[in-house]
A and B are shown apart, each in its own frame.
Chain A
Amino acid sequence: MPKKKILISGNEAIAEGALQAGCSFYAGYPITPQNELIAYMAQYMPKTGGVFIQAESELAAINMVYGASAAGARAMTSSSSPGISLKQEGISYIAGAELPAVIVNIMRGGPGLGNIAPAQSDYFQATRGGGHGDYHTIVLAPGSVQEAYDLAQTSFYLADKYRMPVMILGDGILGQMMEPILVSHKSPAANRHNKQKPWALSGCKGRKPNIIKSFALAEGALEELNLKLQRKYKVIKNKESRFENLFLDDAKVVLVAYGTMARIAKSALGRLRLAGKKIGLIRPITLWPFPERAFCLRNKRIKYLVIEMSYGQMLEDVRLTVNGKAGVEFLGRSGGGVPSEEEIINKVKKIL
């Protein structure tokens, strides 16, 4: 496939990746640090023949995504932490109605209004469903602008395949940072292959009426829906976990970090390796499903060091995964604090 190289921010790369994936509907509401994404969509979505709406609220935006998806479009919204909290009711409805949709969270510091600095403190919200009810979203955590572009396309594929919401979870650094990336030369509309969605609302000509809903009042009906969702989640857990690993063969300490934090961890890892330290790294790319298979539990001398821009959220998934079979250490800062290479190196030296 012909490719061209462009310099672009993470926010814009997600938007461009979505357009390449055939996203034909975007609704959003301004919030820092993801404003480049909505601006990119405002400029380029209409040029591809798609629909762009600046919604009156985060609630309206996510419910517009619900409607567009119900009508068969590949639909997306984006926001940052406080805005994503507002969208949770809608995400729960999308999960319950089994609609495909892509939601981007470019995380900022919390709780409350917090600040606009990068953070990873929405991990629990993203990986545990976030809204009411027993549901999950697939959560993809890009670690570079190129990967943000690539995973934006993957997210629509997964959302359609499993008919469920998919979240792209980045942070303010990833969203704002510009990097050169390779993008497809193809016209975005060429990818809008209008895959048949026989369940979508299009008017009932020649078929029985379609109903999009999450309401299941009859006795047992809601339990049945939940069991169906659980069966789907089991398949996803088995098939869709993704991760990157480095130097696991001889590592005594394995750093575990995702997104921007993994980039800083990689820099620390490079310096530690140059100094002869046996350090490895696991970078989860899917946060849900959590890539449990990346963790080798046969070698009891390995210690895992979880590093996050939070006070220990992914830490819980690592602990659940190793289940007491290996040591787990933690380094984290939040509220705009970002663990530095030096802090990581010092922590590793203490563990060694």
Chain B
Amino acid sequence: MEKIFFRPEALYDVPTHYCPGCGHGIVHRLVAQVIDQLGIREKTIGIAPVGCAVVAYDYWNFDCSEAAHGRALAVATAIKRVRPQNIVFTYQGDGDLAAIGTNETIHAASRGENLTVIFINNAVYGMTGGQMAPTTLLGQKTSTTIDGRDREKHGYPLKISEMLALLPGVYYIERVSLHNPQEVLKTKRAIRQAFENQINNSGFSLVEILSPCPTCWGLNPKESLDWIRDYMQKEFPLGRIK
């Protein structure tokens, strides 16, 4: 029988540290598959964030750097400028990219840096135990919004992808989701597009991925996927933004 589903070479064969039902493992694999398919593993440099994916380099079989919380795009900018022949991407959560690192995100995009950004939006700070994120939905309960996010007290969810799309330096932005297999396939296509853009020197490309966090949402894995479908994608509509 022909084997048609492999572990990508860009992904180590190691046990996961992520919680059951977490989206990070899916996206780690998609990134690794795309890197294999594009044949760029040996020239790729990944930037791991601070957050649950801080040890992404324990899963990826290519060069990686840690970055301080929020600074991934400053680090990536410099690496890409020093080594334009390499493929450089960041992997960042919502707190990293859209709260503490908003400035680095906006300015790397505005400069039109030829980088690929994988942006995991799970509407919560996962690693620290489920505090309000910039992308937390109105009404969503977290450890710092115990009665639900209230627009008067906490402001609105930040749609950073729509904001970035306004910048002339940005080439490509797409929002995708992991809530069912079809959407996972679309996510893979978007990730591939974002890497191809860099290979073609097209400029700044970002894929926002709505990703489940069952542990911090207080839902089981199936309910978490349904919550993305029923609630999260209403606030963060899927599709090509730029």
Select one of B65, B77, B106 contacting A64, CB under 8 A. B77
Residue A55 is within 8 A (CB to CB) of chain B in the complex: yes
Best-buried of B48, B54, B64 by chain A (most CB within 10 Å): B64
A124 to B174, CA, bound (A): 48
The 0/1 profile, CB within 8 Å of A marked 1, for residues 59-99 of chain B is 01111111110010011111101110010000000000000
A93 proximity list for chain B (CB < 8 A): 66, 68
A-B contact count (CB 8 A): 132
Select one of A27, A71, A215 contacting B79, CB under 8 A. A71
Segment at the interface with B among A4-12, A155-163, A204-212: A204-212
Residue A73 is within 8 A (CB to CB) of chain B in the complex: yes
**Known A203-B45, A203-B86, A215-B54; contact A60-B103, beta-carbon cutoff 8 A:** yes
Residue A183 is within 8 A (CB to CB) of chain B in the complex: no
**Known A59-B71, A60-B107, A202-B83; contact A213-B78, beta-carbon cutoff 8 A:** no
In contact, A203 and B74 (Cβ under 8 angstroms): no
The tally of residues in A whose CB lies under 8 Å from a CB in B reads 40
In contact, A73 and B41 (Cβ under 8 angstroms): no
A59 proximity list for chain B (CB < 8 A): 71, 74, 103-104
Residue A90 is within 8 A (CB to CB) of chain B in the complex: yes
In contact, B78 and A27 (Cβ under 8 angstroms): yes
B43 proximity list for chain A (CB < 8 A): 203, 205
B78 (CB) vs chain A CBs: closest residue: A67
A90 proximity list for chain B (CB < 8 A): 68, 71
Select one of B66, B82, B103 contacting A212, CB under 8 A. B66
With both chains docked as a complex, state the minimum distance between the C-beta of B9 and any C-beta of chain A, in angstroms: 11
In contact, A64 and B75 (Cβ under 8 angstroms): yes
A93 (CB) vs chain B CBs: closest residue: B68
- Closest 3 A/B residue pairs (Cβ): A67-B78, A67-B75, A63-B74
Selected A-B contacts with CB under 8 Å, 8 pairs = A53-B77, A64-B75, A68-B79, A75-B78, A201-B79, A205-B42, A211-B64, A215-B54
